Amino acid sequence: MMRELANESESADGIFQQLLDELDDVVVVRAAETGKTLAVNDAVEDVFGYTSAEFRSLDIADYTAGPNSPDEARAQEAYETARKVGSATFLWRAERHDGDPFWAEVNVSQTMIDDQEYLVSVIRDITKYKTREIELERLASVLSHDLRNPLNAAKAQTTHLREQTGCQNEFVDRLEDLHDRMLNIVDDVLTAVTEDQQITDIESIHLDSIVNDAWKTVGGDGKLKLRDNLGVIEADRHRLQRLFENLFENAIVHSDETVTVTVSKIDGGILISDDGPGIPEDDRDQVLKYGYTTAESGTGFGLNIVSTIADAHGWELTVGESVDGGAQFRLTGISRDHSDEDNINPTRSSSSWSEKIDDHSHEQE
């Protein structure tokens, strides 16, 4: 019996080691007290360029990029944190065997086995992600300064021309429209490359008010209808308004006639519907992707930005058909702040709001 149990234990250990070796991420087991590397899976050869035996003989400094790197101290600090609280995560500039530096994300966990303390590190190569992030930051800088500022100046000069000369000319009108169009494209691209950043500025937001503000910002032909009080949710105010602005603009741009957009509260989320032409079923998986548009004046960023903002909040966005045959966007997984819902009294201008008593909804044109 003891021999059978021993064989089963050895078999389980072999299966566990095989599973570790199948992982693309590097898994390193260290003795917590000494920092000595005790075990590493086969992925270390693909990621670092060392064999398992070679890697076990190295110190952290040997595969940290640059001499006296702050990343080495950051790694040591993370290990100490993991020993105190159980886990830690840090970004790290590592170095391959051939001297090539790369970005890594390291998740460290503390574990006890037979009264012995160990640190298990999972190291993931995120060089492609970090490179893209750096490139997007550079692009955002160019858009913010090198393109937007000259366009704003050009638009101001066009406005000055009209005011000084009293010029009412279709060519000046067209010039102003082109400047607005270019600025909108810059704003959409800038939003697309920055909105995937982690949401940190969360607050309780009255949905009625922010939906109202977004509708006023978009302008254009259309009618907004709010069903009952939409309640209070936890979100980033700026990005939430941007989400609604893009949904409203999408409804207006794709409708030849005056469109009605209805925003209503559903269980665990929000429903945004319109009575426009709708989105063909075959296209619903594509409309949220970067660059997709069917409008001549569209940039292909609007709904992608909506999707990105929703993802950043941890919400789920689905596209469907409204009861009127138009487009319907369903946002679910939203965290509501019920503490303030009984005191909802968002500011509503009497000139822009009228209450429909029959269905308890509010409309704005």
Residue 259 to residue 72: CA distance in whole angstroms: 59
Residue 150 to residue 246: CA distance in whole angstroms: 25
* pLDDT over 50 (residue 351): no
Cβ-proximal residues to 156 (8 Å cutoff; 6+ apart), any chain = none
Cβ-proximal residues to 335 (8 Å cutoff; 6+ apart), any chain = 233, 234
pLDDT tens-digit readout, 280-337? 887 777 777 765 555 554 555 668 888 888 888 999 999 989 988 888 999 999 977 6
Structure tokens at 178: 């082109």
Cβ-proximal residues to 26 (8 Å cutoff; 6+ apart), any chain = 40, 41, 43, 44, 47, 48, 121, 122, 123, 124
Written as one string, the DSSP assignment of 212-280 is HHHHHHH-SS-EEEEES---EEEE-HHHHHHHHHHHHHHHHHT-SS--EEEEEEETTEEEEEE-SS---
Which range has highest mean pLDDT (69-83, 116-130, 149-163)? 116-130
Residue 289 to residue 335: CA distance in whole angstroms: 25
Q: Which residue has the higher pLDDT, 170 or 261?
A: 261
Written as one string, the DSSP assignment of 120-132 is EEEEEE-HHHHHH
Mean pLDDT of the region 54-63: 90
Residue 194 to residue 216: CA distance in whole angstroms: 24
Quickly list H helices, the chain: 2-22, 43-47, 52-56, 70-85, 127-141, 148-165, 170-194, 207-218, 237-253, 302-313
CA angle 327, 331, 337 (to 5 degrees): 140
**Contact between 144 and 190 (Cβ < 8 Å):** yes
Structure tokens at 167: 């010029």
pTM above 0.85, yes or no: no
> Which candidate, 227, 260, 266, places its Cα nearest to that of 359?
227
Could you tell me whether strands 223-227 and 260-266 are parallel, antiparallel, or unpaired per DSSP bridges?
parallel
Q: How confident is the model at residue 87 (pLDDT cuts 50, 70, 90)?
A: very high
Residue 148, judged by CB atoms within 10 A of its CB (0-12, 13-18, 19+), counts as: middle
* pLDDT over 80 (residue 185): no
Mean pLDDT of the region 87-115: 92
Q: Which residue has the higher pLDDT, 122 or 188?
A: 122
> Which candidate, 233, 234, 292, places its Cα nearest to that of 266?
233
Q: How confident is the model at residue 61 (pLDDT cuts 50, 70, 90)?
A: confident
Residue 117 identity? E
Q: Is 181 helix (H, G, I), strand (E, B) or coil?
A: helix
**Contact between 332 and 315 (Cβ < 8 Å):** yes
* pLDDT over 90 (residue 120): yes
